[in-house]
Amino acid sequence: MNKKQLQYFLWITVSLFIYSLIKRIPDVDDAWVGELAYFQAKLGFARSELMRGLTMLEIRHICHHKFLTIQGGWFVNLFGWSLYSLKSVSLFYLFIFVTSFIYYAKSKSLSNDFIILFFSLFLANALVFEFSFIYRPEIPVMTLGFLSFIFLERSLEQLNQKTICIILSGLFAGLSVATHLNGLVFPVAGFIILMTQKKYWPAFLFGIFTLPTIAIYFYDFHSLADFKFWSYQMNNIPSLEGVSNRPLAMKILYNLLSEHMRFFHSPIEQSLTLLMLFVFALSSNFLKKYKLLLRYSFILVITIALFSIHKTSKYSIIYFPYLMLLVAYGIHFIYDNRNKIRIFKKHVGHKLAAGICTVLLLFYFSANSFFNIRLCLTKFSPKQNSDLAARYIPEKNSGLRIIAPMTFIFNEIDSFKSIQGEMYYTEMQKSDSSLYRGGFLDATKKFNIDYIILSEAHIKLLGINDCSPEILSKHGFEQLLHTDEMVILKRKNNSYLH
């Protein structure tokens, strides 16, 4: 692909991204994580009604993405409670990253062609495209970690600014931990890099200055009991049952052996992985000159593999800048016909190498663009939720307790006494198989639920898709709506007494 083609593609990608921001559909995590920011702004601490009943989260949520929650609370206070004020947190960090990378590239005297190639790879990636406008910690952690890397690298290159750069690197690495515990990879990577280069005092200084910002994570810990409560919430999440009970050695072995799943999950990941493998194989000797970047990237990938709880692809976003930097360096090497390309010490023709690289780039761009375009096609307005509530819950509803899709809190969170997420019950199914059909309906009595609104997936997961009116009535509910996409049930009068 030539420069003009890349420029054109980047322009289209940026335009598509801007269009995608308009009425972007809510992600379940916008609600799950966003509700904590709502209570942070309102009460000064996090709690959850959506997950009421799970590890006392409705009283206090102490095991969450602390620095992200704090910033979400700031955005809610500044711009009001809305889906888009929360989503803007990640967008704000994307802007910081783009600005920081341009500064970094200019400091490295990288050409405009190189910068265009990097951003074409980076912004087209469907994970980046999507999560840059979701209220989750991956983009903030990625940005804070990259700032830590910039100052770490500068500390090794500029002797006159070594101390201040080490301090700043440590502070940003600590902030990444406070934002998400996966951010621990950045203090680990920075410390290992400095130790392997025999920079013992800088390594110690780096470690010390991660602590003040890591401490933000513990801002709501007031006694030893809070640490016990944190451990209780952390170790009693249904989705982690079985994982947390494994011996440490088994956890580490399992994590390493299954890490490939993160790289081959779907065409989004597969297209990037194939491109990386090809580029790294053909430019490995050339890439050796970027030793710090290679080592840092390797440590991040291995550390995530060892310590992250899930193999979800979104966790890989935090090390995308480094992998894509290496890929961009390698692509530049392959397309330069002055270079001799070898693989396993055998010469590879320049036209063949460039041709295969072009095919892999087209696969990467087309696969990711497909998902990006699909994301843009569906739009959302909070009015959809308010109209639904007005149609099927006409009575004064400020005292009602309902079950609804997680995203129903936009902007209905103040309209009901409690909105419990339908996902609570499917999460609890992982440890309690009785939460199905009648068992699910009976379980709602514990929470004094007045109405149930279920989305398409949860209708089937909770066994309501083939419930007859007689079964519903037996368990205290009457049906207001039943389609393939949605079910709405109302508690029958006095059914709490049965």
- The band of 337, judged by pLDDT with boundaries at 50, 70 and 90, is confident
Which amino acid is residue 285, in one-letter code? N
67 within 8 A of 174, measured Cβ to Cβ:
no
**Range name among 189-193, 257-261, 408-412 with the lowest pLDDT average:** 257-261
Asked if pLDDT for residue 143 goes beyond 60, the answer is: yes
When computed from its CA atoms, the radius of gyration of the chain, rounded to whole angstroms, is 25
334 and 399 part of one domain: no
333 and 459 part of one domain: no
Asked if pLDDT for residue 252 goes beyond 80, the answer is: no
Peptide bond into 411 cis (omega under 30): yes
pLDDT digits (tens, 9 = 90+) for 63-97: 999 999 999 999 999 999 999 999 999 999 999 99
- The band of 214, judged by pLDDT with boundaries at 50, 70 and 90, is very high
350 and 432 part of one domain: no
365 and 396 part of one domain: no
419 and 314 part of one domain: no
pTM of the model: 0.94
The mean pLDDT value for 24-41 works out to: 97
Domain boundary among the residues 376, 405, 421 is at: 376
Confidence (pLDDT) at 1: 66
Confidence (pLDDT) at 242: 47
Domain boundary among the residues 376, 396, 424 is at: 376
The mean pLDDT value for 356-376 works out to: 96
Asked if pLDDT for residue 129 goes beyond 60, the answer is: yes
20 and 159 part of one domain: yes
Tell me the torsion sign for CA atoms 486, 51, 86, 97. Answer: negative
331 and 392 part of one domain: no
The mean pLDDT value for 54-58 works out to: 95
The mean pLDDT value for 245-253 works out to: 70
Asked if pLDDT for residue 244 goes beyond 70, the answer is: no
With a pLDDT cut of 70, the percent of the chain lying above it is: 97
350-377 vs 3-21: helix axis angle to the nearest 10? 20
350 and 426 part of one domain: no
359 and 483 part of one domain: no
Helical H runs in 22-82? 28-43, 66-79
Q: What is the average pLDDT value for the chain, to the nearest integer?
A: 93
pLDDT digits (tens, 9 = 90+) for 228-238: 999 999 988 77
pLDDT digits (tens, 9 = 90+) for 282-311: 999 999 999 999 999 999 999 999 888 788
DSSP structural state of residue 317: G
Confidence (pLDDT) at 281: 93
Asked if pLDDT for residue 368 goes beyond 70, the answer is: yes
Confidence (pLDDT) at 257: 79
Confidence (pLDDT) at 203: 97
What CA–CA distances, in Å, run from 426 to 445, 459, 485? Answer: 17, 11, 17
Domain boundary among the residues 320, 346, 376 is at: 376
337 and 420 part of one domain: no
- Domain range for 472 is 383-497
- The band of 339, judged by pLDDT with boundaries at 50, 70 and 90, is confident
Asked if pLDDT for residue 412 goes beyond 70, the answer is: yes
Asked if pLDDT for residue 396 goes beyond 70, the answer is: no
- The band of 3, judged by pLDDT with boundaries at 50, 70 and 90, is confident
Confidence (pLDDT) at 394: 85
349 and 389 part of one domain: no
DSSP structural state of residue 396: -
Return the higher-pLDDT residue of 399 and 407.
Answer: 407
50 within 8 A of 421, measured Cβ to Cβ:
yes
Confidence (pLDDT) at 424: 96
The mean pLDDT value for 399-418 works out to: 95
Confidence (pLDDT) at 46: 96
Asked if pLDDT for residue 456 goes beyond 80, the answer is: yes
Rounded CA separation 399/416 (Å):
6
370 and 455 part of one domain: no
Return the higher-pLDDT residue of 245 and 277.
Answer: 277
Question: From the centroid of its chain, how far is CA 363?
Answer: 24
Rounded CA separation 132/34 (Å):
15
- The band of 346, judged by pLDDT with boundaries at 50, 70 and 90, is confident
Confidence (pLDDT) at 245: 59
Confidence (pLDDT) at 494: 55
Rounded CA separation 282/114 (Å):
18
Number of domains in the chain: 2
Confidence (pLDDT) at 240: 57
Confidence (pLDDT) at 431: 87
